[in-house]
Structure 1
Amino acid sequence: MIARDLENLTDPSGILGELESVGRSIGDDPAAAIGSAEQLIEATAKTVLRERGIVIDENAKVPTLVKQAQKALHLDVASAAPGPDGTDAVKKILGGVASIAVGVAEPRNRGYGTGHGQVSAPSNLGARHAQLVANAALTWCQLMLDTLADPAAPWRKGAV
């Protein structure tokens, strides 16, 4: 589903690369899938910021990138526009999806994903764990890319 929202991006290669990596590793290498899921969120957030003309701090961590990307699209709880995106129900979902995106970084940071050298390989990590993390990442990324592509999205209301 994400692919449909990539055609109008300046350069979707970062997102495409991480999507491919998640899909390739989810059954055989759960740790790699978890690491790639976090990188997918990072790539998507940075793409959103670039497309919106916002300077990207290459050293920013996932929580900061998630917050900046949601704010850039007027999907953060504080700036949700009146109408469907500003209802209490949607604000709860927007807050939850931000927490999920930030939560994707936790398994990797705790040694269950690639990206940090580990003393020991993670034990009891299975495909279902990788699938959970990947689906969480995909949910957030899909929302960001759908909103970026939507001509009626809240962030466009003030744009010329």
Structure 2
Amino acid sequence: MRIVEDYLSLPEWLQDNDRELYAALYGGEDAVTLDELQAVGDFLKIQDVDEHAARIRRGLRDDPAQAIGSSKELLETVFKAILDLRGNGSETKLDIPQLLHAASSKLGFNAGGHRDGGPGADQRRKLFGALANIVSLTAELRNSGFGTGHGGAHRPQLDVPTARLVVSAAVAVATFYLEAYSVEFEGDPAHDS
């Protein structure tokens, strides 16, 4: 059945054409977060976001390691899209902390808090620090063998609740960065759709 689903791109087709059946088969708490991510990815015309979201949806049910690996790749894709890095040249070969720092700087999320240092700047600074920790820990978990990538035999397994937490947090960070980029440079997707 999984092969037929993948061949037909059934989850994606149902999401576009029969949301009720899609929700019954694939829905759950992760659907809303991934739907928001895909909506802003569509608004910005970043096709790779859809592909990562589809892998994450499938992985959360059947392969948590794939979902964690795809979450790390999603974060890299988002940061590279914000920085307009394309292709496989040396200019795109940045590690995830470098990508996060550059994307945050472009959006004005610096050590001082947020763009203007106004009310709530200290809290925003702490929140952005927490986002950076989520990005870093997602990459560390993936690189430690809990996610796909780097090959490996006898891969350690995370329990499903922890894998869902990692994935949900990474998707939330990716969505935040895309929405912030969209509002800053492209217009507000909530008002332009």
Conservation of the 8 A alpha-carbon contact between 1:111 and 1:122: yes
Give the unaligned 5+ runs of structure 1. Answer: 154-160
Counterpart residue number, 1:157: none
Conservation of the 8 A alpha-carbon contact between 1:76 and 1:95: no
Name segments (4+ residues, structure 1) moved above 6 Å.
none
Q: Which has the larger radius of gyration?
A: 2
Instruction: Write out aligned runs for 1:5-24 (5 A).
Output: 5-9=40-44, 11-24=45-58
Q: 1:43 to 1:85 in 2, by over 3 A?
A: farther
Q: Deviations over 1:40-78 (max 9, x none)?
A: 100111111118xxx983211111111111111111324
In structure 1, give the amino acid aligned to 2:175: Q
In structure 2, give the amino acid aligned to 1:18: H
| TM-score for the superposition, normalised by structure 1 | 0.82
Give the unaligned 5+ runs of structure 2. Answer: 1-35, 187-193
Q: 1:105 to 1:73 in 2, by over 3 A?
A: same
Counterpart residue number, 1:41: 75
Counterpart residue number, 2:182: 149
Counterpart of 1:122 (choices 156, 159, 182) is 156
* Greater helix proportion: 2
- Which of the pair has the greater relative contact order for Cα pairs under 8 Å at 6+ separation? 1
Q: How many residues align?
A: 148
Counterpart of 2:109 (choices 75, 79, 96) is 75
Q: Deviations over 1:102-148 (max 9, x none)?
A: 2110111111110111131214x232122111111112111111111
Counterpart residue number, 2:190: none
Question: Percent identity of the aligned residues?
Answer: 29
In structure 1, give the amino acid aligned to 2:66: A
Conservation of the 8 A alpha-carbon contact between 1:25 and 1:33: yes
| TM-score for the superposition, normalised by structure 2 | 0.69
Over the residues paired in the alignment, what is the CA RMSD in angstroms? Answer: 2.5
Conservation of the 8 A alpha-carbon contact between 1:26 and 1:33: yes
